[in-house]
Amino acid sequence: MNLERYFDYNATTPVDHRVMQDMEGWFCREFANPSAFYGAAVAARSAVEEARSRVAALIGARPDEIIFTMGGTESDNLAIAGSIKTPDSAASPHVITSAVEHPAVLNACRALENRGVRLTVLPVDAEGRVDPDDLRKAISPATVLVSIMYANNEIGTIQPIRELAAVAREAGVLFHTDAIQTTGRIPLDVKELGVDLLSLSAHKMYGPKGIGALYRRKGLRLTPLVWGGGHESGLRSGTENVPGIVGLGRAAQIARQEMDELAARITPIRDRLHRGLFERIPELLLNGSLTHGLYNTLNVSVRHIEGEAILAFLDGEGFALASGSACSSKSLEPSPVLTAIGRSHADAHGSLRFSLGRHSSEAGVDALLDALPPVVARLRSMSPFGKSGGPGNKQ
């Protein structure tokens, strides 16, 4: 794959070669179970705990507040389901989330709703942000958890997490944030944010797939989802994935050292892409916000044509990016995130997500800007709506 033509870093990132170097030895040479007591096992345990400290340092936590999981989805599920006591007939617990959450959060909340938990899904504004006043009004005496993501994976919108967490804290309600798209990309400190639970994943920050972590504020009790030998403070039983944990730790260390430099380099590349798209392609809609969004993410709707059709043509020229329609279910339904911010089904189906990362370049953007307008023009010429009038670009 030509990484200069890779525009899907919000889906996954290539593993950093330094991360791979640290991981390799733990697969074959130093393969001991870290729960054993001989020397090789003690070395494995030491590697796990060093990684735990590195992850904690990245987010301003204590090492004993980090629970390793198999990835971001499990971290979200453990935070949500682990916070909820089994409802009884007298009073069902109440959970609050937002309309733009990742399926790992929304589907976990829906599953609890099917078991008797009361669920409130908050709306968002046209940029995809939750209003703290809406959260304040939604909290009731039965509310036990609020789960609102830090930054959206599709449109990049960053939520006002400090304000939202403060509202929950004032009411004595636990606050969880899915920070999978922000951890390692922007500086964050769990204590400054005021969150009780935070999910992160290695493969979004140049680490391996299949490993993640949950920050759990010290003193907070959760119910495990996986039962067994009591690993990870009793919250995630099972022999530890030592190579993956080491990889996550190294990725966290590198991200902490290099994230500011990366942001400074990628932001103007994102802006170059934004300008070029809106200068060269008529009838585009910006989804999300440049002001309140991740520096690496740009989402637009190309009116009157399907995003998947554009992707198919671009794939033939070596470009990799995502569309907002049929995002995770492979269904014909448009992205719930885009409909939540007010996009019509047609415009949601015409969305494209560009997400940038370490290997992105001006040359890659310029190549995309040369390839995309002819594709759009060709597809619109075949569409019954391609020559219709309509509003101009909305930035």
pLDDT digits (tens, 9 = 90+) for 57-84: 999 999 999 999 999 999 999 999 999 9
175 and 238, same domain (yes or no)? yes
210 and 281, same domain (yes or no)? no
- Distance, in Å, from the CA atom of 180 to the CA atom of 213, rounded to the nearest integer, reads 10
Phi, psi for residue 212 in degrees, rounded to 5: -155, -170
191 and 285, same domain (yes or no)? no
Higher pLDDT among residues 331 and 128, named by residue: 128
CB atoms within 10 A of CB 111: 13
**Tens digits of residue pLDDT in 370-385:** 999 999 999 999 977 6
- The answer on pLDDT for 389 being more than 90 is no
Average pLDDT (6-21) is 98
**Per DSSP, what are the bridge partners of residue 214?**
67, 199
**Tens digits of residue pLDDT in 101-133:** 999 999 999 999 999 999 999 999 999 999 999
pLDDT for 331: 57
Residue 353 lies in a domain: yes
pLDDT for 393: 66
Q: Answer whether 151's CB lies under 8 Å from 292's CB.
A: no
CB atoms within 10 A of CB 262: 18
Averaged pLDDT score across all residues of the chain: 94
**Tens digits of residue pLDDT in 218-265:** 999 999 999 999 899 889 999 999 999 999 999 999 999 999 999 999
**Tens digits of residue pLDDT in 199-218:** 999 999 999 999 999 999 99
Average pLDDT (91-106) is 95
pLDDT for 120: 98
- The answer on pLDDT for 388 being more than 80 is no
- Distance, in Å, from the CA atom of 62 to the CA atom of 244, rounded to the nearest integer, reads 20
- 240, 255, 270: which is the final residue of a domain? 255
- 235, 255, 275: which is the final residue of a domain? 255
Torsion of CA 394, 277, 128, 167, to 10 degrees: -110
Residue 277 lies in a domain: yes
Residue 387 lies in a domain: no
pLDDT bin (cut points 50, 70, 90) of residue 327 is very low
Which is the catalytic residue, given 112, 198, 255, 327? 327
Instruction: Provide the residue type at 320 as one letter.
Output: A
- Distance, in Å, from the CA atom of 144 to the CA atom of 157, rounded to the nearest integer, reads 25
DSSP state of 302: E
- CA 356 from centroid of its chain's CA atoms: 14
180 and 328, same domain (yes or no)? no
- Specify the pTM: 0.94
Instruction: Provide the residue type at 209 as one letter.
Output: K
CB atoms within 10 A of CB 395: 12
71 and 140, same domain (yes or no)? yes
Average pLDDT (173-180) is 98
In this prediction, what percent of the chain has a pLDDT beyond 90? 90
30 and 150, same domain (yes or no)? yes
Average pLDDT (291-318) is 96
Residue 390 lies in a domain: no
Residue 136 lies in a domain: yes
- Distance, in Å, from the CA atom of 171 to the CA atom of 310, rounded to the nearest integer, reads 47
Residue 207 lies in a domain: yes
268 and 245, same domain (yes or no)? no
Q: In b/e form, how buried is each residue of 85-110, taking b as 16+ CB within 10 angstroms? A: eebeeeebbbbbbbbbbbebbbbbbe
- 255, 271, 291: which is the final residue of a domain? 255
Q: Which domain holds residue 333?
A: 3-12+259-382
| Separation in Å, CA 10 to CA 115, 156, 201, 335 | 32, 9, 11, 15
Ramachandran quadrant class, 176 (left: phi over 0; alpha: psi -120 to 50; beta: rest): beta
283 and 232, same domain (yes or no)? no
Instruction: Look up the CATH number of the domain holding residue 359.
Output: 3.90.1150.10
- The answer on pLDDT for 321 being more than 80 is yes
167-181, 245-259, 331-345: which range is least confident on average? 331-345
Instruction: Look up the CATH number of the domain holding residue 66.
Output: 3.40.640.10
pLDDT for 42: 95
Total tally of structural domains belonging to the chain: 2
- Distance, in Å, from the CA atom of 222 to the CA atom of 208, rounded to the nearest integer, reads 26
Residue 77 lies in a domain: yes
247 and 272, same domain (yes or no)? no
Residue 272 lies in a domain: yes
**Beta 284-287 vs 174-178: how paired, if at all?**
unpaired
- Distance, in Å, from the CA atom of 22 to the CA atom of 164, rounded to the nearest integer, reads 38
68 and 193, same domain (yes or no)? yes
In this prediction, what percent of the chain has a pLDDT beyond 70? 94
228 and 364, same domain (yes or no)? no
- List the structure tokens of 163: 């304000």
- Triad 235, 95, 211: Cα angle to 5°: 35
pLDDT for 395: 61
pLDDT for 91: 74
188 and 118, same domain (yes or no)? yes
Catalytic annotation present for 109:
no
pLDDT for 45: 96
Q: Which helix (H) or strand (E) holds 174?
A: strand 174-178
